[in-house]
């Protein structure tokens, strides 16, 4: 069985309030996107890495990247960017599985990605990295309406790994039906498919707001690939 990585990197990063999209922020000696791609390359050195970038992108050409990286154009929403990459894979390459990983998650560990891959392959079932919710969870707006039992609650991360054909069909149909899709798994769930929860480190965070940068700089400096 063969694999490809899909990296949606076509967002503007509005919540980061940075002068450039967050995937191009410098984290120590490399940009966020370079760190992310290095993690995927370290996991499966010869796998294709399809990066979806914005048509207005001015930063991608300056990156230093391995030669198994290919770009496609991103779309309006994250799901559109992912689907563009999946369609490219379907027409041009024979791969069974795709692992979709956010450009903005440079802290993921290759060992966690390998665990996801082995779970998906051995059970022949798609899955996602996720971490169990740690805090007590409150429901409400101005006042607490309820304390939600957290035993069965997980925070979804990426990579999210599915068979290329399954994910392409689910995303295409969900987008056609205007279903709200925030990750690949939600499209698969909507289509009635199974998704395994594979426990991952909680520090595989998605860089979202300015206070995430200092944490990411600290953690990436400590990681040894």
43 or 119: CB nearest ligand CTP: 43
Q: Does 85 bind ligand CTP (CB under 6 A)?
A: no
Does 9 contact ligand CTP by CB under 6 A?
A: yes
When the beta carbons of 4 and 52 are compared against ligand CTP, the nearer one is 52
Q: Is 23 in the site for ligand CTP (CB under 6 A)?
A: yes
Strands (E), the chain: 3-9, 26-27, 30-31, 48-53, 69-73, 97-100, 127-132, 137-140, 144-148, 154-163, 196-199
74 in contact with ligand CTP (CB under 6 A) = yes
Binding mask 40-59 toward ligand CTP (x if CB under 6 A, else -) reads: ------------x-------
Query: Using an 8 Å Cβ cutoff, are 154 and 200 in contact?
Result: no
**2 versus 208: smaller Cβ distance to ligand CTP:** 208
Q: Which is nearer to ligand CTP, 77 or 121 (CB)?
A: 77
Query: Using an 8 Å Cβ cutoff, are 129 and 112 in contact?
Result: yes
Determine if 11 is a binding residue for ligand CTP (CB under 6 A). Answer: yes
For residue 207, what are the contacts with CB-CB under 8 A and spacing of at least 6?
A: 16, 22, 25, 32, 104, 105, 106, 213, 216
Q: Name the 3-class secondary structure at 140.
A: strand
Task: Catalog residues that contact ligand CTP under the rule CB under 6 A.
Answer: 8-15, 23, 52, 74-78, 81, 102-104, 206, 208
């Amino acid at each position: 069985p063969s694999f490809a990585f899909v990296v949606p990197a076509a967002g503007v990063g509005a919540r980061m309030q940075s002068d450039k999209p967050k995937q191009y922020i410098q984290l120590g000696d490399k940009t966020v996107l370079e760190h992310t791609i290095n993690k995927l390359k370290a996991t499966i050195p010869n796998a294709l890495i399809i990066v979806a970038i914005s048509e207005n992108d001015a930063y991608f050409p300056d990156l230093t990247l391995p030669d198994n990286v290919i770009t496609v154009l991103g779309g309006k929403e994250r799901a559109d960017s992912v689907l563009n990459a999946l369609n490219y894979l379907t027409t041009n390459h024979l791969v069974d599985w795709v692992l979709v990983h956010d450009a903005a998650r440079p802290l993921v560990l290759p060992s966690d990605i390998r665990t996801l891959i082995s779970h998906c392959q051995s059970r022949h079932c798609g899955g996602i990295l996720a971490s169990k919710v740690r805090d007590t969870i409150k429901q409400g707006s101005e006042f607490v309406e309820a304390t939600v039992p957290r035993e069965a609650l997980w925070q979804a991360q990426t990579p999210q790994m599915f068979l290329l054909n399954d994910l392409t069909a689910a995303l295409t149909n969900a987008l056609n039906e205007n279903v709200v899709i925030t990750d690949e798994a939600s499209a698969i769930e909507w289509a009635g498919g199974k998704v395994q929860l594979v426990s991952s480190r909680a520090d595989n965070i998605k860089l979202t707001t300015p206070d995430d940068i200092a944490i990411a700089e600290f953690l990436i400096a400590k990681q040894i690939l």
